[in-house]
Amino acid sequence: MHADDLTDLDREILAFEQDWVSHAGAKETAVRAQFGLTPAGYHQLLNRIIDNPAAEAHAPRLVRRLRRRRDARRTQRRSAS
| pLDDT score, position 1 | 46
pLDDT digits (tens, 9 = 90+) for 38-77: 999 999 999 999 999 999 999 999 999 999 999 998 898 8
| pLDDT score, position 52 | 96
Supply the angle between the helices 8-19 and 39-50 in degrees, to the nearest 10: 100
CA distance 6 to 27: 23
pLDDT band at 24 (very low <50, low <70, confident <90, very high): low
**Residue 71 or residue 3, greater confidence:** 71
Average pLDDT over residues 30-45: 94
Residues 3-17 as b or e (16 or more Cβ within 10 Å = b): eeebeeebbebbebb
Domain boundaries, the chain: 3-80
Closest CA to 1 of 68, 49, 61, 70: 49
